[in-house]
Amino acid sequence: MNAPSLLLVAAVAVLYSSGFYLLLQRSLMRVVFGILILGHAANLSLLVTDTAITLPPLLGGEPGQQLSDPLPHAMALTAIVITFGVTTFLLALAYRVWLDDENDEVPDDLEDRRISRLKEPEDSS
Partner 1 sequence: MNALLAVPLLVPLCGAAVTLLLRRTPRSQRITGTTTLSVVVVAAALLLWHTRDGTIATAQAGAWEAPLGITLVADPTSALLLLVSSVVLLIVLLYAIGQDIGGLSRATPQVFHPVYLVLTAGVNLSFLAGDLFNLFVGFEVMLTASYALITQAPTRARVRASMIYTTVSLTSSILFLTGIALVYALTGTVNLADVSDKLDAAPPALRMVLALLFLVVFGIKAAVVPMHFWLPDSYPVALTRISAIFAALLTKVAVYAVIRTQTLLFARDDTSAVLAVIAVVTMIVGILGALVQSDINRIMSFALVSHIGFMLFGLALGTVAGLAGAVVYLVHHIVVQATLFLVNGLIRQYVGHTSLTDIRGLTAVSPALAVFFFLPALSLAGLPPLSGFVAKVALFQAGVDAGGLLAWAGLAAGVLTSLLTLIAIFRVWTRAFWGTPRPDVLEAREQLRSGANRGGLRIMTATTGAMVAVGVAVALAAGPLTEVGFTAAEGLLDGRAYVTAVLGEGAR
- Is residue 52 near partner 1 by the rule CB under 8 A? no
Give the long-range contacts of residues 105-111, CB within 8 A, separation 24 or more: 105/26, 105/27, 105/28, 106/26, 106/27, 106/28, 106/31
- Is residue 9 near partner 1 by the rule CB under 8 A? no
- Least Å distance, CB 35 to partner 1, is 6
- Least Å distance, CB 123 to partner 1, is 21
Q: Choose between 107 and 124: whose C-beta lies nearer to partner 1.
A: 107
- Is residue 43 near partner 1 by the rule CB under 8 A? yes
Q: Most distant CA pair in the chain: distance in Å?
A: 84
- Is residue 61 near partner 1 by the rule CB under 8 A? no
Structural contact between residues 94 and 25, judged by C-beta atoms closer than 8 angstroms:
no
**Interaction pattern, residues 62-81, with partner 1; x per rule: CB under 8 A:** ---------xx--x--xx--
